[in-house]
A and B are shown apart, each in its own frame.
Chain A
Amino acid sequence: MTSVLSTRPSIERPTSVTEELPPEIARDAVRFPNGLPGFEACRSFVLMQSDVLGPLQLLKAVEGPSASFLVIDPRRVLPEYRCELSQADRHRLGVSAGTDALLWLVLVTIELDGTVTANLRAPVVINPERMTGHQVVPHDCVYPIRHVIAEGE
């Protein structure tokens, strides 16, 4: 497992995603000032990837209640994916004058029958320059909360 946002040499990790994080990775935490809806007390996350997990990545809370989410680049799901940020969203992320390159992710759910879905409605956006993140709760959005990316068995 390596922390995606790390600029240091990658740290070899076993493939288990339930292990405690070493402090080196916790330093790369992304602040979510509002948490995520339903996980408002989770204010700090690390984003992790591994060859075993790809194309999925893991967004793991490192502060507050334990929670971890599978995420994926929405353009791997839908190449034309595009979502507008409101002024309030940009303010939350600390985006300056449209120059910051933002990281877009959507939450993935694995349902009981194995169906894999992505929440294209409410993307998680990370500003790597400020190390801040925010889940967009859009007022108007054409994308579904439950978009099937792989059928169950």
Chain B
Amino acid sequence: MLVFTRRRRETIMIGDGISIEVLRIGRDGVRLGVVAPPDVAVHRKEIYDQIREANQKAAAAPQDLGAVAKRLRQRA
């Protein structure tokens, strides 16, 4: 892992077109500004992890889907 010391308003460049700037340094957190090309996904890791976990649960579908679908139709 590369480790940098950055002060407020200082930036790290990654490859072509990705930059991360330190906007504000607080007591409990650092505010960062990320500039990236539109084809580069930028996420808070914990949100991505939550969605990944939800997707893994969603992929494990039971066999009796017809019964579940019927229950949803009856509900509507």
Contact = CB atoms under 8 A, between A and B. Distances in A.
Contacts of B48: 37, 137
How big is the B interface, by class?
A: 20 to 34
Given A70-B58, A88-B38, A108-B58, A145 B71 contact: no
Interface in B52-73: 52-59, 61-63, 65-66, 68-69, 71-73
A137 B51 contact: yes
B6 interface: no
B69 A39 contact: no
A152 to B, nearest CB: 10
Interface of A: 15, 17-18, 34, 36-39, 52-56, 67-70, 72, 76, 87-88, 91-92, 107-111, 114, 116, 119, 121-122, 135, 137-139, 145-146, 149-150
